[in-house]
Amino acid sequence: MALDYAGLKGAYRVASLVKSPKGQPMPMHISDIIVKEGSAAHFKASEIKAAVAKGKIPEEFSNDGSAVGDFNIIATPWLLGTGDATSITNLSAATNWHAFDSSYVSDEYGLQYFESEPINMNSEPNIVFKTNEIQFKAGMMFAFGHNDARGFYSSQGDNS
């Protein structure tokens, strides 16, 4: 879905239908929108956020209230990808956007960092006589991953 009011309501609707591993309702509440800094999606998210903050429906002149709650915008230049709409790594296009529920970013949910051995020095220093360079060896053991990605939603932004 495109990042517009209808697309944002669609993301809220999908988030409200999430089930727990036992099949019980586990509704998510979108709190953050991630966009590429300076992109069309960034400007559109800012416009929607401003209208929602005033209690208005974006892009309308009616006095109806907004159906979505306030959210944070995370504008980052580091979304990687090709920008090619046919690519599975299309994360840098101007229309892509991502949403998540920050209350599910914890030790139990979301992205994880597992450290099994902290940084340590593995050897005595080696001093290079010619340059006076001091060389050390260090090591650590860790892993990155996630254990539950149900609170994260992504869209190519092209209504496909």
Quick one: which of 18, 32, 106, 27 has its CA closest to 69?
Answer: 32
The amino acid at residue 137 is K
Model pTM above 0.75: no
Q: Give residue-wise pLDDT tens across range 68-112.
A: 888 999 988 877 555 555 555 554 566 788 888 888 777 777 667
- Range 110-125 average pLDDT: 79
Cα distances (angstroms) measured from residue 84 to each of 1, 50, 62, 89? 17, 30, 37, 8
- Other beta carbons within 10 angstroms of residue 155's beta carbon come to 20
Distance CA 54, CA 66 (A): 9
pLDDT at 115 over 60: yes
